[in-house]
Amino acid sequence: MAFARLFARAAATVAGAGVAAAAVATSAASPSASLMRVPAHAACEPIHEPLNPNSTSVNPDDEQVVDRDSGKSFLRHISMFSGVPGALIGAACRRRFGLISVYGVGLYVAESEATSLNAPTDILKGTVEAELQLKFCRTVERETITASIRESMEPRMPDNQKGALDGFIDALHDFLDGPAYDGMLLGFHWDGSVLTTYAEGERHEHHAEMGIKSEAIPRALFAVYLDEDAVVPPEKFVEGLDQLKQANAPPQDQE
């Protein structure tokens, strides 16, 4: 299926649920375009374009943090989806049944805004630019991914926004267009009231992104990983934020 048809269907689904959505296949002609990679299972028309410098693909020689539970590594500093410099707050692992490692989770915020956070949950106010990177450890069917995300987001959504959640999940299901696999990255970038979903992998190079305008959806999605009932150990992000703020603290004057 061509990207244009895939994204048009995703946008129509979300818009029909009352959420203003824009899902587009980017191109190198657009200065804000970011090159994304999707699984080989997604039967899409190849787009032969050079890598965009604003992609989350960054210098592999940069310092990395490895989440031991998932075995996935996350760069301490990246160019976020928007092109803004981002800093890693922490990395954790999403497990099922307490035993099976499904994916590693990296949490990023804009470097210029990191020191303004008192706690990682401040991200849920929607006033700072933030990004989640999910790096899969194994093959997971898209039905399993979307069902799990729906199950986690539903109790965190306002009652009058449940229809919007249905639209988002349907659009995400279409966007994935196949199973996740070991090494695939599924990212969620939250800037104000816009949530941008993107995918990267090692098998094919395509532009793939989906943007949805909503306040409730990104807040509920990020709460899945940040609130007191998070699906990953929240202390990983609390400790990471403390260390990040200490590293960026101005030197104290010595008398």
Q: What is the mean pLDDT of each run of 10 residues along the chain (255 residues)?
A: 34 40 34 29 25 35 82 93 92 85 96 92 96 96 96 95 93 92 94 90 61 93 96 90 80 57
Contact 203/40 with Cβ under 8 angstroms?
A: yes
C-alpha–C-alpha distance, residues 83 and 160, integer Å: 34
Reduced to 3 states (helix: H, G, I; strand: E, B; else coil), residue 88 is strand
What lies within 8 Å, CB to CB, of 150 at 6+ separation is 165, 169
Closest to 185 measured CA to CA, from 2, 28, 39, 25:
39
Closest to 90 measured CA to CA, from 56, 118, 131, 129:
131
Q: Residue 29 has which token pair?
A: 């002609």
CATH code of the region 3-229: 3.50.70.10
Residue ranges covered by each domain of the chain: 3-229
The single-letter DSSP state of residue 99 is T
Q: Report pLDDT for 242.
A: 87
Q: Name the one residue in this structure whose structure tokens are 């400790």.
A: 239
Residues, the chain? 255
Contact 225/242 with Cβ under 8 angstroms?
A: no
Q: What is the pTM of this model?
A: 0.73
Query: Phi and psi (nearest 5°) for 206?
Result: -140, 160
